[in-house]
C-alpha cells in the first residue's frame, strides 16, 4: 500500500502513512491478477451534533494506479462496501466527510451524489456548513482553516508533477473550475473539506447504478489485526479486478 501511494504522491513518509493507517478502521483493497491496483482507507465512526446522533465515513488515503483509471471498480467497491458496513454503524444519518487535494477526487461528488457541499451552483445550507465545520475541527484541529474550508496538513501528500495539473480542457466542467477556485493550493497538497449525506435518496442515476449493482465485495471480519506490511496478502480474491473491505480494528 505504501509503495503504491508513494509511487504517485510526493512527500509520503512511511511513519506518517503508518500513523494515518492506524487511525482508520477499514481499508478497501483492489487487486487484479494478484496485483494491488488501488485502495481506500476509511474511518467510520459515530458522533453527536446538535443533540442528534449520526454516523460518519471519513475517507483517508485513496489511490488508483493510473493504468486502472478507466475502471469503475473503485467507485463500485466504495459504495458497495459502505452500504454493507452501514449495518455496523446505524446511528442516525450517515455522512461522507471527504478532503480533496485533487480534482479527480472532488469530481466523484457530482457524479454520485445529488446534494453535496461545497459546490459551484448552490450556497452551502447553514446546517451543512455548521456540521462540516464541526466535523473538520474535530478531525483536523488547527490544520483546518474555518474561513477557507481548507485543511493544510503538516505533512501534505502532493501528486507527482505529471498528475497534479488540471488539463486545460477539464476547465469546461464548472465543478472542476469551482474546485480550482476554492482550493487554489491543491497542487501543494491543500485539502478542500467536503460533505455529502450517504442515502439512497441522495444518489444520482450513476450512483443508483453503483448502489444497486451486483458488485459484492468479499467482507472479512476477523477480530485479529494482521501485520500492516502483510496487508496485501491477507485476502484471497478471484483473478478479475476485485475489492475487499478489510477491518483495521475489531468491529
- Each residue of 32-76: pLDDT tens digit? 888 888 999 999 999 999 999 999 999 988 888 877 766 778 888
Q: How many domains would you assign to the chain?
A: 1
DSSP one-letter string for 98-128: EEESSHHHHTHHHHHBSSEES-SSSPPPHHH
CATH, residue 75: 3.40.630.30
Backbone angles phi, psi at 182, to 5 degrees: -80, -25
Q: Residue 54 sits in which domain range?
A: 2-247
Of the CA atoms within 13 Å of residue 25, those in its CB half-sphere come to 16
With contact defined as beta carbons under 8 Å apart, do 2 and 20 qualify?
A: no
Asked if omega into 167 is within 30° of 0 (cis), the reply is: no
* Sequence-separated (6 or more) residues with CB below 8 Å from residue 2: 12, 14, 17, 18
- pLDDT at res. 239: 32
From the list 222, 242, 221, the residue with the least C-alpha distance to 36 is: 242
Cβ–Cβ < 8 Å for 145, 60: no
Could you report the per-residue pLDDT of 129-138, keeping only the tens digit for each?
A: 999 999 999 9
User: Do 25 and 247 meet the contact criterion of CB atoms below 8 Å apart?
Assistant: yes
| Residue 68 DSSP symbol | G
Please state the pTM of the whole predicted model: 0.84
In the predicted model, residues of the chain with pLDDT beneath 50 are 220-242, 249-251
pLDDT of residue 218: 53
Provide the terminal-to-terminal Cα distance of the chain, rounded to the nearest Å.
22
Amino acid at each position: 500500500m505504501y509503495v503504491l501511494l508513494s509511487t504517485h504522491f510526493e512527500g509520503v513518509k512511511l511513519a506518517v502513512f503508518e500513523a494515518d493507517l492506524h487511525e482508520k478502521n477499514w481499508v478497501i483493497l483492489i487487486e487484479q491478477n494478484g496485483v494491488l491496483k488501488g485502495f481506500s482507507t476509511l474511518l467510520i465512526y459515530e458522533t453527536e451534533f446538535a443533540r442528534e446522533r449520526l454516523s460518519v465515513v471519513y475517507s483517508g488515503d485513496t489511490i488508483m494506479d493510473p493504468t486502472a483509471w478507466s475502471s469503475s471498480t473503485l467507485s463500485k467497491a466504495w459504495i458497495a462496501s459502505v452500504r454493507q458496513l452501514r449495518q455496523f454503524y446505524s446511528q442516525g444519518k450517515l455522512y461522507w466527510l471527504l478532503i480533496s487535494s485533487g480534482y479527480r477526487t472532488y469530481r466523484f461528488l457530482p457524479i454520485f451524489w445529488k446534494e453535496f457541499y461545497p459546490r459551484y451552483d448552490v450556497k452551502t445550507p447553514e446546517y451543512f456548513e455548521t456540521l462540516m465545520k464541526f466535523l473538520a475541527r474535530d478531525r483536523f484541529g488547527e490544520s483546518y482553516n474555518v474561513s477557507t474550508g481548507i485543511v493544510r496538513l503538516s505533512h501534505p501528500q502532493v501528486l507527482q508533477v505529471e498528475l497534479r495539473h488540471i488539463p486545460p480542457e477539464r476547465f469546461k466542467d464548472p465543478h472542476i473550475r469551482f474546485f480550482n477556485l476554492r482550493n487554489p493550493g491543491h497542487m501543494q497538497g491543500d485539502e478542500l473539506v467536503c460533505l455529502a449525506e450517504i442515502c439512497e435518496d441522495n444518489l444520482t442515476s450513476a450512483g443508483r447504478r453503483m448502489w444497486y449493482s451486483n458488485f459484492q465485495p468479499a467482507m472479512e471480519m476477523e477480530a485479529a489485526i494482521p501485520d500492516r506490511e502483510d496487508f496485501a496478502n491477507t485476502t484471497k480474491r478471484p483473478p478479475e479486478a476485485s475489492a475487499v473491505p478489510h477491518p483495521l480494528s475489531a468491529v
